[in-house]
Amino acid sequence: MDIIQQQRKINPLTLPGVDRDRMQTTIQQSDYGNMDNMLYPELKQIGVIVAEYLHMDLWHLKLRTRKRKIVQARQIAMYFAKHRTKYSLYRIGGFFGGHDHATVLHACKTVNNLCDTDRNFRKDVNAIRQEIQKTFAPAGEAQAKKPAYRILVDDTNKQVNVYTNDNFDYLAFQKLSGELEEREISDNYKIVML
């Protein structure tokens, strides 16, 4: 394998002659199913609801752009994420394109101001709010009813099957890691997330 092929495996954006903007867009589009989406399902659900209502994809909300349509959609998603989830402002901003906590606060303030002054914007926000209320159970109720994951260990095949549901988030992931360590699951086991 020559040096360029090895370097391309490490980071394709470092190669000379690569169209960085096109490559970055491709990476962001493939970001739709990344680890953040698995660890923060509530943020993903809010993002999907907002994006679908406004006729775009979730990855659009994560773009670093100043196009008004995308910025307002991201602001609406941040607004609902702040009011409907337990995540920090830093985590919400990070999920929606790597923004900081001040951007999330500004988004909430902007959404409130636009709802007060723009009738069409208020109508869209209320419609999205109804969709989110249909999707989400009252805070804490769904998490109390069923556990976030279930583990099945197959010692003969050296495989661990982990079944997750919508309650699986970062805290559940940490708990799962601790539980696997307690059960002394060695590196010889294959862990399958289902």
Domain spans of the chain, in order of start: 34-136, 143-193
Tell me the pLDDT tens digit for each residue of 88-110. Answer: 899 999 888 888 889 999 999 99
Can you tell me the distance from the alpha carbon of 27 to that of 150, in angstroms, rounded to the nearest whole number? 32
Pick from 30, 19, 21: nearest CA to 58: 30
Q: By mean pLDDT, which of 59-68, 82-91, 123-132, 172-181 is the weakest?
A: 172-181
Q: How far is CA 135 from the centre of its chain?
A: 16
What does the angle CA 183 – CA 186 – CA 189 come to, to the nearest 5 degrees? Answer: 100
Residue 8 pLDDT > 60: no
pLDDT, position 142:
46
Q: Which CATH number fits domain 34-136: 1.10.1750.10, 2.30.30.90, 3.20.130.10, 3.40.50.720?
A: 1.10.1750.10
Q: Indicate the average pLDDT of the chain.
A: 77
